[in-house]
Chains A and B, each alone.
Chain A
Amino acid sequence: MKYFGPPQLSWRFIPVWRRNFLVWKKLAGPSILGNLADPMFYMLGFGYGLGSLIPQVGGASYMAFLSAGTICYSTMNSATFEVLYSGFSRMHVQKTWEAILNAPLTLDDVMFAELSWGASKSLLSGIAILAVIWALGLQANWLLSLWVIPVVVVIGLTFSAMGLVMTAISPSYDFFMYYFTLVITPMVLLCGVFYPVERMPEILQNVAAVLPLSHAIDLVRPLILGHIPTAIAGHIGAMLAWAVVSYWLAVGLTRRRILK
């Protein structure tokens, strides 16, 4: 249990964040395109295609309904991919972390840099979708839709932290497939990205209610559709609880993996 003490924080994580930012800057064009294109085409395809069959969902156009879900799942995906695949490269394949740990940084600094970088990169994905929403005029209230941005930060932190747990225990890239098929995809299908959770059998609704993506959508969807969300503190608190527990676990597991 000696590895599972509380995560330590220090400002030394900043140069590592800057390192990741510099790598990203070199490939910013393809990276932004990759972040934006996939969720945008899903949104436009389903939005126009299905949306023409479904006139209204909860008093809004299907496209607007779907766009809010898309922000959340796009942010989730972006954070997850970053800390899983890119994080694993930096930790295991390129041995970037090993080099950093020989400098006056600790593993906790590196982990916090990964967490904050995953959240930063996914913030960009969330904002990119939000920009498409603005461009199409899907938001009901522009000012209210700005509140999506801080929510996206919390979503990014939550899914970065959860992903880091997987990275900590992964022997290879192939391992991440389990996480996608057993965690991420079910979450997308259960938590109301494409349709209201209320349409599901009650047992599935109960499962969805504890999953972090549901809380994300419960905040973002009203903000896009022009209402103030209910139970804001509860939703933020639930996501942060997932984030803190996951991050703590991820730091412990990674210490056990690296510091031996």
Chain B
Amino acid sequence: MPIIKVRNLTKHYGNTEVVRGLDLDIKRGECFGLLGPNGAGKTTTLKMLLGLIEPDAGEILMLDQPIPLQARQARLRIGVVPQMDNLDPDFTVAENLLIYGRYFGIPDAVINSRIPSLLEFAGLTSKADTKITTLSGGMKRRLTLARALVNDPELIVLDEPTTGLDPQARHVIWQGLRRLIHQGKTILLTTHFMEEAERLCDNLVILDHGKVIATGNPRDLIAAEIEPGVVEIYGERVDAWAEQNGAAWCTRHEITGETLFCYTHDGTALIAHLREQCELRYVQRPSNLEDVFLKFTGRELRDV
């Protein structure tokens, strides 16, 4: 029995179909990623899962509760980390946890007994009585994550948990999420950081224009969809080089601006060749989820 089961979920605004017949099966205890470019329908999907907006069609069963009918019952057992921090600026760190716990109907004594471990989890033990307004972006995010755990949820839903964080802060959040996965929590996150999804997710779907365009385990997806190596070649004359040599050296290649992405099974010979082309710079790397993502969703900008 999946913890979240979605069938044929559909939502449109005006004439725009934002979510088009989405199916999801998320297993208990896994970390599941919802990936997609801006406007793919990720946030709308999350809001429908939480019962905050009504779908036009489709079925959602989450924690055995039909949504949106029993959304309140489901949300009692869910922790949510929103895209934008919405901590209460009038309160201290500890008060934020207390106030939020009360929304779940948890007695003050129980919340207060949980606060020390939540602060420890967030690395904010020394900041318990600090005002929110003086916290750094990373601290706020950690507190928002800790706040989502105040009801000891079975499922944690995160909407772009690390957007806007510096690498250090991002790694701390990832570490926290891994701890939660280890404790057996189920995690559903949206992201457009492919590295994040690759590191954390057991399974994921890539959404575009409201539809699932790829699904699976990140490593399997990369192996199935993309050649194992990528050589990125930069330079003014990259067009000309591609025309002459692209087909010969690359299994598949794409040009964006002044960059050529050359997908290969073995780049050794290509690298040897490129060493002699002093006007071209290059980077060789293993292929990753971002390559899969770009293969499916294309390279053009989405927010224009």
Contacts and interface: CB of A to CB of B under 8 A. Distances in A.
A105 interface: yes
A259 B52 contact: yes
30 contacts: A12-B105, A15-B102, A15-B103, A15-B105, A16-B103, A18-B99, A19-B99, A22-B90, A22-B91, A22-B99, A23-B88, A94-B86, A94-B89, A95-B84, A95-B86, A96-B86, A99-B82, A99-B88, A100-B103, A102-B52, A102-B75, A102-B82, A103-B75, A103-B104, A103-B151, A104-B103, A104-B104, A105-B72, A259-B52, A260-B13
Interface in A215-260: 259-260
Interface residues of A, number: 23
A105 to B, nearest CB: 6
A95 B53 CA distance: 17
Interface in B90-106: 90-91, 95, 99-100, 102-105
A12 B73 CA distance: 13
B99 A102 contact: no
A26 interface: yes
A98 B82 contact: yes
Interface of B: 13, 50, 52-54, 72-73, 75-76, 80, 82, 84, 86-91, 95, 99-100, 102-105, 151
A101 interface: yes
Nearest to B73: A104
Given A23-B90, A99-B86, A260 B53 contact: yes
A106 interface: yes
Most B CB contacts (10 A, CB to CB) among A95, A101, A105 go to A101
B75 A96 contact: no
Contacts of B86: 94-96, 98-99
Contacts, number: 63
A86 to B, nearest CB: 11
A96 B105 CA distance: 18
A148 B13 CA distance: 49
A186 B174 CA distance: 57
Interface string A12-38: 100110110011001000000000000
A25 to B, nearest CB: 10
Given A94-B86, A103-B100, 16 more contacts: A2-B54, A12-B105, A15-B105, A19-B99, A22-B91, A26-B90, A95-B82, A98-B82, A99-B88, A99-B100, A102-B52, A103-B104, A103-B151, A104-B103, A259-B52, A259-B53
A62 B272 CA distance: 100
B75 A104 contact: yes
Q: Which of B13, B52, B87, B89 counts the most A-chain CB atoms under 10 A from its CB?
A: B52
A228 to B, nearest CB: 43
A19 B53 CA distance: 25
B89 A101 contact: no
Interface in A69-108: 94-96, 98-106
Contacts of B76: 104
A174 B162 CA distance: 34
A193 to B, nearest CB: 33
Given A23-B90, A96-B88, A104-B75, A18 B82 contact: no
Contact of B72 (A19, A98, A104): A104
B72 A106 contact: yes
